Amino acid sequence: MNCSGLGSRFLVKDEEVYPVNAPWLKNFIRDGDGKTYIYPGIRYVNIGGTRQPDDWRLEVDKEDSKGILERCCQLEPSLRPSQVMGEANPRVEREYLHVQGRQLPLVHNYGHGSCGITLSWGTALDAVDLLRQSLFEKPPQARL
């Protein structure tokens, strides 16, 4: 299982894992109802968010992303010139690693951005399902 969060950028070379680059921000900022927030981490900043009842889509919505940035810039205008380095879209999937002649299953579960606590209830179940399947399925055969 790979649940290394932002570490996946380095661990599995996933260049898409990246929040906002605004190293000058040091304080957390949240609006009244918590729908808009800016959470600086050690290296990057997470901004959010959305709350849309009955929205089951799993893809990133460009309009939502624009709206989040706009709302966050209103809260913190210094974010305007900052670079959005990527959008959170959890990666919950399995791949097979070829190690010493064996196919080893690797289940990824990362990329939750600023909603990991909320989303983890579902993504953890999906990740465990993928792991269970790996115990019963034969790994794909190499075609060499």
Residues of this chain that bind ligand FAD (CB under 6 A): 3-7, 11, 28, 39, 41, 110, 112-118
Q: Which is nearer to ligand FAD, 16 or 137 (CB)?
A: 16
Q: Which is nearer to ligand FAD, 71 or 112 (CB)?
A: 112
Longest Cα separation, the chain: 59
| CA angle at 93 for the pair 88 and 94, rounded to the nearest 5° | 145
* Closest distance of CB 33 from ligand FAD, Å: 12
Q: What is the b/e burial string over 66-86, where b = at least 16 CB atoms within 10 angstroms of the residue's CB?
A: eebbebbbeebeebeebebbb
Q: Which is nearer to ligand FAD, 41 or 139 (CB)?
A: 41
* Closest distance of CB 40 from ligand FAD, Å: 8
Q: Which is nearer to ligand FAD, 117 or 142 (CB)?
A: 117
- How buried is 134 (Cβ within 10 angstroms: 0-12 exposed, 13-18 middle, 19+ buried)? middle
* Cα pseudo-dihedral 19, 86, 89, 48, rounded to 10: 50
* Closest distance of CB 123 from ligand FAD, Å: 8
Backbone angles phi, psi at 93, to 5 degrees: -160, 170
* Closest distance of CB 51 from ligand FAD, Å: 11
Q: Kindly state the helix (H) or strand (E) to which residue 73 belongs, with its residue range.
A: helix 62-75
* Closest distance of CB 139 from ligand FAD, Å: 24
Q: Which is nearer to ligand FAD, 50 or 74 (CB)?
A: 50
